[in-house]
Amino acid sequence: MKITFPIIFCLFLIKISAQDTFSIVAVDQETGEVGSAGASCINGSIIISDIHPGVGAIHTQSYWNAQNQNNASQLMDQGYPPMFIIQYLIENDSQGNPTIRQYGIVDLVDGGRSAAYTGENCYDYKDHILGDTYSIQGNILLGPEVLDSMEVLFLNTPGSLAVRLMAAMQGAKIPGADSRCLDDGISSLSAFIRVAKPTNDTDSLYLHLNVNSTPTGVDPIDTLQDLFDLWYEDHPDVITITLENHTGWNLVGLPLEVEDALYNILFPESIGGTLYSFDEGYNLELDLMQGVGYWLRFNDAGSTTISGSLINELIISLNEGWNLITGPSNSINLFDIQDPYGLIISGTVYGFTPNGYSEAEVLDPGKGYWIRANNSGDIILISE
């Protein structure tokens, strides 16, 4: 395998010793976003990250070498698949010693392609985990639980690629995750997260957060999370939920935070003038509010698609007696409702279907529910 690259001499001025690192590269096939996140028990771990907007992402770690990373980057620009790039790096290591390297590469082609390599002479614990749209890798780790936890949280956290990458990093926030940081009681010394939209330039990414170093005893993933939370306030996820309705009256709710909550905008197929809330009697409404359930009538069965930002937490004020409520953006089990004052009367939560009322065990997003309280007060609904 012979491929010639131009030599960029300035890259060789940077040399990094053995990097005890855990990281993830991933893509989102639906949005075309590509992302990269990682941490290490050295300062400046972001050096391993190479983002190609609209294409893919590369991590080169463990005895990081600038020329190897540059070669991988150019091969991705030329359209080569992840496995080819890794095989080239193995066969053409710039120092003739690929067994000390670790790579993770992913791209957007054909629903997502990924490949990884962990050299036999990387320091233990070392391994990698592959999925169609992600590669998770690490070396000098506390054990396999670091990578396993990253994968579990990445796959099971709802939301955008950025949210799931941040969740993966939280999965690795274990004292000594990077084992050389064990004595300090932290996971690592530096951390980063990066996401590119398809139209981004490489020097102007949608998300670029870097914790290059932290004071003694401060975990960089905590600092990264603080920075991410501030960024997220200005860049909340926009997701889509499809709600089914039946002919006639339906109990509905607002499943997302939206710009315009007019019922005829959210439910354009509904019958005009049929949105009713309940507060010791029925009230005709125009707008839907978070946490409130409503009656709404349709001429025909169908579905409605609503786009907006996630509602993860609701504080709902109940009146004594019957109330109409709705839940957050994800389903929540009744047992998970926080009811510190014991307001909810057991066995009095009901949904509504074409066959009539039925006792509910789960509150599903976009649905309304009757609930009976023995007194006035607040309940708290939090979805994961």
Domain ranges of the chain: 11-234, 239-382
| Cα distance between residue 92 and residue 89, in whole Å | 5
pLDDT for position 320: 97
| Cα distance between residue 263 and residue 271, in whole Å | 10
DSSP, res 120: T
Q: Which residue has the higher pLDDT, 236 or 331?
A: 331
Under a CB-based contact definition with an 8 Å cutoff, are residues 85 and 6 in contact?
A: no
Q: What average pLDDT score do residues 366-384 get?
A: 95
> Binning pLDDT at 50, 70 and 90, where does residue 180 land?
confident
The CATH homologous superfamily to which domain 11-234 belongs is Aminohydrolase, N-terminal nucleophile (Ntn) domain (3.60.20.10)
- Bridge pairing between strands 113-118 and 248-253: unpaired
Q: Sort residue 9 into left (φ over 0), alpha (ψ -120 to 50) or beta.
A: alpha
Which H or E run includes 74? Answer: helix 66-77
pLDDT for position 8: 35
Please, which contacts does 147-156 make with residues 24 or more away whose CB atoms are closer than 8 Å? 147/22, 147/172, 149/174, 150/22, 150/24, 154/24, 154/26, 155/131
pLDDT digits (tens, 9 = 90+) for 283-339: 999 999 999 999 999 999 999 999 998 898 999 999 999 999 999 999 999 999 999
pLDDT digits (tens, 9 = 90+) for 124-137: 999 999 999 999 99
| Cα distance between residue 148 and residue 22, in whole Å | 11
